[in-house]
Structure 1
Amino acid sequence: MSGGAGADDQMILAPAGKRPSLPLVRAAPLADIVAVVASIGLILTYVGFWSAPLTGYGARSADFLRNFYYPAYLLALVLVCMRPGRALKGMVRSPLLIALLLLTAATYFWSIMPDLTARRIPALVFTTLAGVALASRWSWKSLTEIVAGTLAVLAVMSLLLGALLPDMGRMQEIFPGAWRGLWLEKNGLGHVMVQTTIFLLAAGIMVPERRTLWFGLAAVSMALVILSTSKTALLVLLLSLGAMGFVAVVKSGPLRAVVATWLAVVVVIGVGLLIATETDLVLELLGKDATLTGRTEIWSGIMEQMSDHPWRGFGYGAVWDDPGFTGPKAWIGHQAHFLPANAHSGWLEIYIALGLGGVILFALWLVQIWAQSLWAAYASPGGWLALPMMISYTITMMSESIAMNWHELRWVIVVAVALKLALGDEPAAPNQAAPRPLSRR
């Protein structure tokens, strides 16, 4: 896997003797400008911060919001067309992802709501294409800085909104006083700020000439995780920071890498034993009850509904919008004593939609990404981003339905990371002069 800078990195490198400029600001070829604008547009669209004010913070229907994603479909196509060969190469190297998408499309034929499944399959495909586009167009450094810069702006806006307009920036009901920033509720802010922190810290490490800027903004996003009072987001952030610490140690020398690897194995086994033997203590630390705030009752209902046909789900995106009184949602709600909006588990969300085959395919794909992320921790600059992102995604999807979600930034990012791990950085052309080193004042 190549760890060198791709050709696109040169647009953010300042000539020798001049102060380094911020990425995306310096004059660049028109194609690079279009690519940057398209990438920022994709991130801003799929992060979904704009849905809260447009729906009056949940007071109005959100059905019309899907119309706002059509421009993002076009932006993804534009980016893919800029590097079609790279995009195709990345997909060819991701057969498990292709198999997952094909299985998702096949569920139309047995979906309990085929009209919804038919509408949401293209939405998933184009959301996935956004990740493919970002991975095929940018190097690790450029991808990290573009996402970091875009999300950092939202972090600063959330901080200002919570501080200056608390009626909007902080929750008034259910969790009064908890910061939500630009999002509908505190958990939305918390989880986005975890991603923001990972990208900002990775950008500061990969691009040392802008380290002060990125690390300073990371302090803002970390503060927002705390202000959101989301204990799950805080736990995920701490684990992600631990993953970055692990990458720092293994990259510092062969002996330290061996010691850190063994320590990591011991810690993972120890945490597993702690969860298994002291479950009540762990739940108390997370602020959860024995049902994980009603989640286990939902999970039990899903398992019961799937017991008659474990290999075939009810159709992608079909279960939770079924208005019928005899469908799986109604029976799950009867068992849970309330009507859930989702499975509250990425694994069970895939299970009830695609069946056991989908769970197996997704698990194999996740194992592949994890293996590549661990290798990148030792051998590629991408390890600074890939490993903490996989920690964040894997832990979060255990209790949140974030796996294979259409119109969701976390799915875009995990696809981008997966394909970037498969592709590596694009080597510079042999006849292209290497960029001169940045000046140091």
Structure 2
Amino acid sequence: MEAQIPIFGLDKISSQNRLDFAEKVFTVFSLLFFMGVFGFGPEDSETGIIPSSVITLMRYGIYATTLLLLALRIKSTLKTALSNKWVLCLISFISISFLWSQDPSTTVDVVWKELIPMFLLSLYIASRFTIEQQFSLAIQSLLIAFFFSILLAIVMPSIAFHQTGDYAGSFRGAFGDKNRFGAIAATLLVTLFMLKNYAEKKQGWASAMLVFCFAILVISSSVTALVLSVASLLLVSLYQKFKWMGKKTILLVNLSILISMSFFYVIISRWIEILTFLGRDPTLSARTLIWNYVITTKIPPHLYFGYGKGAFWSSERLTSGFEHAAFHIPAHSHNGFLDLILEAGLIGFALFFVVWLVAYTRAVRLAYNFKKASYLWPSIFLSMMILFNLFESYLVLFPNINWVLFLSIALSLSQKPFCLRALG
């Protein structure tokens, strides 16, 4: 009997470890799914190599598993959900947009299949894992997606590289286009930089991966992702170098703002001359034409409530006019905030901004109080989210890992047991 007691204890510990490992594997798999890793396929094909029936099975499998895991921890689930009522207001408002949607059936379909599952996954991540664990799971997901894209380039180069159009030869990996891959690679690049410089334990492998990731990012030829990744790296350094305490810091902050404003003024006032000199299209691949048409023509008729979730860009009737204003009908507006306003109006955008602002304020406090990579992650991700959505749509398009991580961070930062208790 005496020999059986420690064995029973070890079995119990081992069982708990296996359960924890299984939940982490499920979370990483779910993040990869919403990242869009499983949708790879030829450019001229409407469906990927993996059959749509399998993708559907994955979606509902994640849906059901997430609901089960949340139900098993119902007390923690409710506590996490109620910790941030702004998030609930945002999700609720977008979910009921079918009431005024220009295409109610599409809105209901998108809300049911995409929006709700992503929110539930975010709720599960926030209620189950700490900020440190979330950072680790995000890195694992990004690394798997990155190496899978490299593997795809070796095994199926015709899929991993753009074959036609202006982007021919650009690397896109397992994603739909080079910019989407660039966003993933840029996010990985910044997380590796944080690991290399601010992890509690030295991560020797991060240095080599940092160089490799940067090289692949250059190959992808996504100028937007490359520029924004450099800006994000500077932001990481800035957050850790200065603390908002004392007169000297206040002076530095004001000087930084002045220099930044001057810099952007020069760019804006000499926009066309600078881009022409660099050999770039002054319309940013027709982005400025699209933005102008969206702001002046498409947003005003449904200013406050929008067209409904997923309704605008799926309707030929609603997208008519772009072929004349921007010389083609785009898949989205190439600006996440404009797309959010198109879907949920100014009310939806205001709710999003409140959620982001509250989360960002708490994230910055966390970053300035602890020199630790995982505690720096929320503020950097929220900053990158804003930067990346200036020229691409990573807020409302599906699949969308950015929305999942955004909501999980916002919900986590509302809970004192995870990280805010240390802030006082």
- Could you state the TM-score of these two structures normalised by the residue count of structure 2? 0.83
In structure 2, what is the equivalent of residue 114 of structure 1? 104
Alignment of 1:340-359 (within 5 A): 340-359=330-349
Q: Is the 8 A contact 2:142 2:188 kept in 1?
A: yes
Instruction: Using the TM superposition, give the Cα deviation of residue 401 of structure 1 relative to its aligned residue in structure 2, in angstroms.
Output: 1.7
Q: How far apart, in 1, do the equivalents of 2:351 and 2:176 lie?
A: 33
Which of 64, 86, 91 is the matching residue for 1:101? 91
Counterpart code for 1:186: K
Counterpart code for 1:47: M
In structure 2, what is the equivalent of residue 77 of structure 1? 67
In structure 1, what is the equivalent of residue 241 of structure 2? 249
In structure 2, what is the equivalent of residue 306 of structure 1? 299
Alignment of 1:167-178 (within 5 A): 167-174=158-165, 175-178=167-170
3-state SS in 2 of match to 1:269: helix
Q: Is the 8 A contact 2:101 2:309 kept in 1?
A: yes
Instruction: Using the TM superposition, give the Cα deviation of residue 38 of structure 1 relative to its aligned residue in structure 2, in angstroms.
Output: 1.5
Deviation per CA, 1:379-401: give whole Å up to 9, x if none: 24444212221222101111222
1:328 equivalent to 2:328? Answer: no
Distance 1:49 1:333, change over 3 A: same
3-state SS in 2 of match to 1:330: coil
Deviation per CA, 1:109-156: give whole Å up to 9, x if none: 121111110111122121122222222222222221222123213323
Which of 109, 122, 132 is the matching residue for 2:123? 132
Instruction: Using the TM superposition, give the Cα deviation of residue 423 of structure 1 relative to its aligned residue in structure 2, in angstroms.
Output: 2.2
1:318 equivalent to 2:311? Answer: yes
Distance 1:352 1:45, change over 3 A: same
Distance 1:130 1:206, change over 3 A: farther
Counterpart code for 2:210: A
Q: CA RMSD in A?
A: 3.0
Q: Larger RCO: Structure 1 or Structure 2 (Cα < 8 Å, ≥ 6 residues apart)? A: 1
Distance 1:93 1:278, change over 3 A: farther
Instruction: Using the TM superposition, give the Cα deviation of residue 420 of structure 1 relative to its aligned residue in structure 2, in angstroms.
Output: 2.4
Distance 1:33 1:52, change over 3 A: same
Distance 1:29 1:287, change over 3 A: farther
In structure 1, what is the equivalent of residue 11 of structure 2? none
Q: How far apart, in 1, do the equivalents of 2:230 and 2:394 lie?
A: 20
In structure 2, what is the equivalent of residue 60 of structure 1? 46
Q: How far apart, in 1, do the equivalents of 2:245 and 2:304 lie?
A: 47
Q: Is the 8 A contact 1:301 1:332 kept in 2?
A: yes
Deviation per CA, 1:26-60: give whole Å up to 9, x if none: 9962331222122111112111122113xx34413
Q: How far apart, in 1, do the equivalents of 2:104 and 2:264 lie?
A: 41
3-state SS in 2 of match to 1:97: helix
Which of 288, 297, 302 is the matching residue for 1:296? 288
In structure 2, what is the equivalent of residue 372 of structure 1? 362
Which of 211, 220, 238 is the matching residue for 2:203? 211
3-state SS in 1 of match to 2:281: coil
Deviation per CA, 1:291-342: give whole Å up to 9, x if none: 221122222332313323422321110111124xxx2212344433322211
Q: How far apart, in 2, do the equivalents of 1:165 and 1:208 lie?
A: 39
Counterpart code for 1:120: V
- Could you state the TM-score of these two structures normalised by the residue count of structure 1? 0.80
Instruction: Using the TM superposition, give the Cα deviation of residue 263 of structure 1 relative to its aligned residue in structure 2, in angstroms.
Output: 5.1
Q: How far apart, in 1, do the equivalents of 2:396 and 2:199 lie?
A: 31
Q: Is the 8 A contact 1:170 1:177 kept in 2?
A: yes
Distance 1:343 1:168, change over 3 A: closer
The sequence identity of aligned pairs, in percent, is 21
Distance 1:133 1:217, change over 3 A: farther
In structure 2, what is the equivalent of residue 415 of structure 1? 407
Instruction: Using the TM superposition, give the Cα deviation of residue 282 of structure 1 relative to its aligned residue in structure 2, in angstroms.
Output: 5.6
Instruction: Using the TM superposition, give the Cα deviation of residue 287 of structure 1 relative to its aligned residue in structure 2, in angstroms.
Output: 6.5
Aligned residue pairs total 397
Where does the alignment leave 5 or more consecutive residues of structure 2 unmatched? 1-13, 420-424
Q: Is the 8 A contact 1:243 1:387 kept in 2?
A: no
Q: Is the 8 A contact 1:145 1:203 kept in 2?
A: no
Q: How far apart, in 1, do the equivalents of 2:181 and 2:236 lie?
A: 22
Q: Is the 8 A contact 2:125 2:134 kept in 1?
A: yes
3-state SS in 1 of match to 2:37: coil
1:39 equivalent to 2:27? Answer: yes
Q: How far apart, in 2, do the equivalents of 1:299 and 1:136 lie?
A: 38
Deviation per CA, 1:160-211: give whole Å up to 9, x if none: 4435654343222222322222223221211111122233333445544351
Q: How far apart, in 1, do the equivalents of 2:279 and 2:353 lie?
A: 28
Instruction: Using the TM superposition, give the Cα deviation of residue 275 of structure 1 relative to its aligned residue in structure 2, in angstroms.
Output: 3.4
Distance 1:94 1:406, change over 3 A: farther
Range moving further from structure 2, 151-160 or 260-269? 260-269
Instruction: Using the TM superposition, give the Cα deviation of residue 411 of structure 1 relative to its aligned residue in structure 2, in angstroms.
Output: 1.1
Where does the alignment leave 5 or more consecutive residues of structure 1 unmatched? 1-25, 428-441
Which of 192, 214, 221 is the matching residue for 1:222? 214
Distance 1:365 1:211, change over 3 A: same
Q: How far apart, in 1, do the equivalents of 2:84 and 2:263 lie?
A: 31
Distance 1:172 1:69, change over 3 A: same
Distance 1:256 1:160, change over 3 A: farther
